[in-house]
């Protein structure tokens, strides 16, 4: 069902040419613009805006619904995991709505508390966290929840408990909320090892044990990107009129060769970085042509762009923060799994005396941090080689 939605625009263009406009399926309408544009490019003719509108179709013409819900059911064949993921998508939709209405609903600003890792909590951090906890606990599928916003893991009471452990950052990039810049949610799902009640042994595991990872970006559109381990990366966009996430792309891969030359890091920390990272930055600037600098300051947005366009995202360790800033369980791990599945690489760089692949870390506490160097293989391997060249690894 989902294999039809590949990046190749040519078959779509051919289908478009073969079908009467009013009978377009969702597949044709979703990819219609790309198809029309590619056909026009091949023929060296620009489509008129009218042709583009016709090719795009309208949701009322859709007769097929490749929704996230159907995709989850098709992928899992597991009612309990499906129920859990439905809970996550419900909370994503509610968070999306809250972000979109934040100005109107007086949801900008601080909640007046500090979270587990010492950050000031925003009202939307608290609200989104409550939404995820309610949706997950009541899914009947969760055993333990680990949230950025809770000091301790939440062990779900026996009568509502299920088989899964979920680590999540309910609202990532919350410093961007008040200026209406995109934010996101990040999550990772593990399955309990045994049949008895969950323990911390089920929670503190390497990233290689994750069975599903995803993020939802609250941007110009709300988009959910998900991977079932070993099954590629898939994109779904929220259609607000239906309240459903619709499939827009299968098996997303970072562009071949590493894509655009873009680096993404908070250069305000430059003076405290390792020599190897400083040297890479110099090389990005001195390359001909130089790399472009792009930094939103919301990990979800910066990693999303890196997957779609290419390049590298770095939040390295520095002299003041030896472990970097980002959290292993609900930022580093899920994003690394997604990027690796998209054909990229994810490393900590030099961390605790050796070069480490990020997913191999074994966390010892739930809010542990690690350096994150993530993106296309071309650029991540270049950073690792720089550590080796400098004799640091």
Smallest separation (angstroms) from Mn ion to the CB of 2: 29
Residue placing its CB nearer to ligand AHG in the complex, 51 or 172: 172
Rule CB under 6 A: say whether 149 interacts with ligand AHG.
Answer: no
Partner whose footprint covers residue 48, from Mn ion, ligand AHG, none (CB < 5 to 8 Å by kind) = none
Q: What are phi and psi of 88, to 5 degrees?
A: -65, -45
165 vs 188: CA distance, rounded Å: 8
Can you tell me which of 173, 219, 310, 344 binds ligand AHG, judged by CB under 6 A?
173
**Residue 88 to residue 4: CA distance in whole angstroms:** 26
Q: What share of the chain is helix, strand, coil (3-state, %, to 5)?
A: 40, 25, 35
Using the minimum distance from each CB to ligand AHG, give the nearer residue, 75 or 298. Answer: 298
Number of residues that bind ligand AHG (CB under 6 A): 14
Strands 183-191 and 212-218: antiparallel
Establish if 172 lies at the interface with ligand AHG (CB under 6 A): yes
**Cα–Cα dist 121/203, whole Å:** 24
Q: State the binding partner of 379 from Mn ion, ligand AHG, none, CB within 5 to 8 A by kind.
A: none
Name which position in 85, 107, 299, 346 contacts ligand AHG (CB under 6 A). 299
DSSP string, 315-331: E--BSS-TT-SSBIIII
In DSSP terms, 112 is beta-bridged to none
Site for Mn ion in 196-225 (CB under 5 A): none
Closest Cα to residue 371, out of 354, 389, 391? 354
Interface of this chain with Mn ion, residues 142 to 161, rule: CB under 5 A: 148
Does 148 participate in binding ligand AHG (rule CB under 6 A)? yes
Nearer to ligand AHG, 250 or 266 (CB): 266
Q: Which stretch binds ligand AHG (CB under 6 A): 17-25, 206-214, 245-253, 295-303?
A: 295-303
**From candidates 297, 352, 365, 385, binder to ligand AHG by CB under 6 A:** 297
Q: Of 148, 202, 251, 386, which residue is the catalytic one? A: 148
- Helix/strand/coil for 261: coil
Binding mask 57-86 for ligand AHG (x = CB under 6 A): ------------------------------
Contact between 379 and Mn ion per CB under 5 A: no
DSSP string for 265-278: --GGGGGGB-HHHH
Instruction: Answer yes or no: 134 catalytic.
Output: no
Verify binding: residue 244, Mn ion, rule CB under 5 A: no
Is there a catalytic annotation at residue 368? no
- Buried b / exposed e along 282-300 (16+ C-beta atoms within 10 A): eebeeeeeebeebbbebbb
Shortest spacing between CB 117 and ligand AHG, in angstroms: 7
CA 290 to CA 279: how far, in whole Å?
Answer: 14
Contact indicator for 152, 138 with CB cutoff of 8 Å: no
- 331 among known catalytic residues: yes
Neighbours of 391 (CB within 10 A): 8
Catalytic pick among 90, 131, 172, 379: 172
Catalytic status, residue 191: no
Nearer to ligand AHG, 203 or 299 (CB): 299
> Quick check: 174 binds ligand AHG (CB under 6 A)?
yes
Strands 292-293 and 262-264: parallel
116 binds, among Mn ion, ligand AHG, none (CB under 5 to 8 A by kind): none
| Cis before 289 (ω within 30) | yes
Rule CB under 6 A: which residues touch ligand AHG? 119, 148, 169, 172-175, 266, 297-299, 302, 315, 325
Q: Which residues are catalytic?
A: 119, 125, 148-149, 169, 171-172, 331
């Amino acid at each position: 069902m989902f294999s039809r939605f590949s990046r190749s625009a040519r078959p779509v263009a051919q289908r478009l040419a073969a079908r009467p406009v009013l009978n377009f399926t969702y597949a044709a309408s979703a990819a219609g613009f790309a198809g029309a544009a590619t056909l026009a490019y091949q023929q060296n003719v620009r489509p008129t805006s009218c042709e583009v509108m016709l090719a795009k179709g309208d949701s009322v013409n859709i007769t097929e619904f490749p929704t996230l819900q159907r995709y989850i059911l098709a992928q899992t064949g597991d009612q309990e995991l499906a129920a859990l993921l439905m809970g996550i998508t419900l909370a994503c939709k509610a968070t999306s709505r809250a972000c979109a209405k934040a100005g109107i609903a007086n949801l900008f600003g601080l909640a007046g508390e500090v979270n587990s890792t010492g950050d000031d909590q925003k009202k939307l951090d608290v609200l989104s966290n409550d939404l995820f906890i309610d949706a997950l606990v009541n899914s009947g599928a969760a055993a333990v929840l680990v949230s950025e916003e809770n000091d301790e893991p939440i062990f779900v009471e026996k009568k509502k408990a299920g088989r899964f452990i979920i680590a999540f950052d309910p609202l990532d990039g919350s410093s961007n909320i008040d200026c209406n810049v995109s934010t996101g949610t990040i999550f990772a799902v593990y399955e309990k090892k045994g049949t008895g009640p969950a323990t911390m042994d089920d929670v503190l595991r390497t990233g290689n044990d994750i069975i599903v990872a995803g993020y939802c970006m609250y941007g110009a559109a709300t988009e959910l990107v998900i991977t079932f381990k070993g099954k590629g990366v898939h994109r779904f966009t929220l259609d607000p009129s239906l309240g459903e996430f619709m499939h827009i792309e299968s098996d997303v891969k970072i562009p071949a060769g590493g894509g655009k030359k873009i680096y993404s890091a908070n250069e305000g920390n430059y003076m405290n970085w390792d020599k190897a990272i400083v040297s890479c930055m110099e090389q990005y600037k001195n390359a001909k042509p130089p790399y472009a600098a792009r930094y939103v300051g919301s990990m979800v947005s910066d990693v999303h762009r890196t997957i779609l366009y290419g390049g590298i995202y770095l939040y390295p360790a520095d002299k003041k923060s030896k472990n970097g800033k980002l959290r292993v369980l609900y930022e580093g791990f899920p994003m690394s799994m997604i990027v690796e599945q998209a054909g990229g690489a994810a490393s900590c760089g030099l961390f605790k005396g050796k070069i480490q692949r990020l997913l191999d870390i074994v966390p010892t506490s739930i809010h542990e941090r690690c350096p994150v160097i993530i993106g296309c293989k071309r650029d991540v391997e270049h950073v690792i080689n720089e550590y080796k060249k400098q004799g640091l690894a």
